[in-house]
A and B are shown apart, each in its own frame.
Chain A
C-alpha cells in the first residue's frame, strides 16, 4: 500500500463556495520524491495543507473523500499526532518563527524539545541539520534579524530537523539564491533516498526535472497531468494552463517550428537533455 493516499478528495474553504481541491486521487510511495507544479491559485498549498493535516484540523471547511498516511485516517486522527508523521514547511517564509527563541539554534531545536528528544541528541541533530542546509554560521544570530533567504532556510531546517516520515514543502526555495536553491534540492533528494517521502510544490522547473521522481501538475483544484518529470514538464498542457516550462523546452519548441530541432527527439527539460537534443539536431541534416 502507498504511504500517502488521497481518494476522491474535494475540499472547500469555509469562506468560499468554490472547492479549492476537486476530486483529487493521489498515491505516493515511501521514499518517493513527488513534485507539484501549477499556476497561482491552482491549489498547491491547499493540497499541502491537506496532506499535512492542517486541513481540516486547522482550516475547517468541507473535506470530502479520504486521506491516509501510513495507514492512519486523517479525519479520525488529531492534528497534534498527525504532525509527528508529516512535517510541513509553509509557503510564507516570514511567519514560521516560534516566537519564544532568541537564537537560530534554539529556534531549530524547538521542534525537538516538543518531541522530547534528549538534550545531547538534540544538539547533535540541530548541528547536523544546520550543516546540511548551510546555515551553521547563523547559529547564534537572532531569528528575527535575518535576510529573507536566511529566514526561509531557518524555516526549512526547523522542520527538517524533526525528520518527519513524510516531508511536505510548499515552495521552499522561493527566496533562495540559485545555488542555494539547488543545494536545498540536493539535500531533499538525499532525504528521499534515505527513505523519507517528499512532496514539494515548486516553480523551479529545471530543478524539479532534475530531482523529482514524479510530477503532478495542478490547475483549478485538479490534477491535470501526472507522470515522469520529462513527460509532465514538456506537456503542452502546461503552457495552456499558464504553468511555466523550462527555457530549454521553450527554445526547443520554437526551434522545432523552424525545423531546427528534431521532431523525434523528446523536448528537453534539463541542461543535459538540452545539450544532447540541440547538438543532435545539429548533426542530423
Chain B
C-alpha cells in the first residue's frame, strides 16, 4: 500500500552509480545556469536537452514523466497563469479578463519564471530518483558536513513522498469512519479540509518521534561514521565536479561582464 517514502527508484544505471555529490553539483550547476538569465531560452534548453536525456540515462524516464505531469506541471501551470495575469507592467495587451490584462511582456515573463521553476525542480527530481537518500547523507557526513545538517537536508528532500504516505494513512482512517473522499469533485474537495490539520500535526509529531528514534541508534554519537553501502567516488568524478564549478564561475563572470 503506502510503502514508498521516497522518490528513489532502485535501478542499475550510470546515474545511480555516480557519487551523490557529483549529482548534487551537477544539479546546482543546472539550477544556477537557469536562473542567471544569460539567455531567455536557456532553462528550456536545459530541460529539453539535458534533463530529459538524463532521465533516460538514469533509467527513470517513466517515473520522471509521471512525477512531472502529476506534480510539477500543475504547480508550474498555476504559476504561469498567475504571472501572466498579475504581472504589473506591459503595454501590448493580448486580451483581458475583467480588470486583468494579459500582455506580451507578462506572458514572456510568466514563461521565463515557469521554465526556470520547472528546470530547477526537475533537476532535483533527477537527483532524488537516482540517489539513495542514505547515500547522500553518508556521503555528506563523510565529507565533514555535520550529521544533523545532512539529516535535515536528506529529510527535506523526502518531504513530498513522506507527506503523501501520511496523507494516505489519514485518508484510510477517515474513510474507515465514513468520510466519503472518493467520487465526485465536491467530495474530494470537501475531504481536503479535515486532512490538513492532522497532516500538519502528525508531521510535527513524527519529527519528534524520528529525533528520538535516531538518537537511540547513536546517530549523534561523537564517533566517525561508516557506511553499509559503498559509495563510489572516482577521480573522473572529482574532475567532473571541478568542471561544473568552473562552469558556474564562468557563467557568473559572464553575467557580471554582460551587465
Contacts and interface: CB of A to CB of B under 8 A. Distances in A.
Interface string B210-229: 10111111111111111111
A129 B10 CA distance: 25
A115 B218 CA distance: 7
Interface stretch (B87-95, B111-119, B133-141, B172-180): B133-141
27 contacts: A52-B216, A54-B216, A79-B215, A80-B215, A80-B218, A80-B221, A81-B222, A83-B218, A90-B212, A95-B206, A97-B213, A99-B214, A100-B133, A100-B154, A100-B158, A101-B134, A106-B228, A110-B217, A113-B228, A114-B221, A115-B221, A115-B223, A116-B223, A116-B224, A118-B226, A144-B3, A145-B1
Given A95-B213, A144-B3, A145-B3, A162 B226 contact: no
Interface string A87-126: 1101000011111111001100111111111110011001
Contacts of B226: 112-113, 116-119, 122
A84 interface: yes
B48 to A, nearest CB: 31
Contacts of B223: 114-116
A159 B215 contact: no
Contacts of B162: 99
Nearest to B228: A109
By size class, the interface of chain A is 35 or more
Interface string A240-274: 00000000000000000000000000000000000
The B interface, classified by DSSP as helix, strand, loop or mixed, is loop
A133 interface: no
Interface of A: 52, 54, 58, 79-81, 83-84, 87-88, 90, 95-102, 105-106, 109-119, 122-123, 126, 142, 144-145, 158-159, 162
Interface string B5-32: 1101010000000000000000000000
A97 B5 CA distance: 12
B213 A98 contact: yes
B149 to A, nearest CB: 14
B98 to A, nearest CB: 48
Contacts, number: 112
Given A83-B217, A144-B2, 11 more contacts: A84-B218, A90-B212, A90-B213, A90-B216, A95-B206, A95-B213, A99-B210, A115-B221, A119-B230, A122-B228, A142-B3
Contacts of A114: 217-219, 221, 223, 225
A123 B228 contact: yes
- The 5 residue pairs across chains A and B that have the minimum distance between CB atoms: A145-B3, A111-B217, A80-B220, A109-B228, A114-B218
A81 B220 CA distance: 9
Best-surrounded residue of B138, B154, B229 (most CB of chain A within 10 A): B229
A101 B213 CA distance: 13
Contacts of A96: 213, 216
Contacts of B215: 54, 58, 79-80, 83
Nearest to B151: A100
B132 interface: yes
B209 A95 contact: yes
A159 B162 CA distance: 24
A102 B213 contact: no
B214 to A, nearest CB: 5
B154 A111 contact: no
Nearest to B221: A80
A158 B214 CA distance: 11
Given A54-B212, A113-B138, A119-B226, A102 B218 contact: no
A73 B66 CA distance: 55
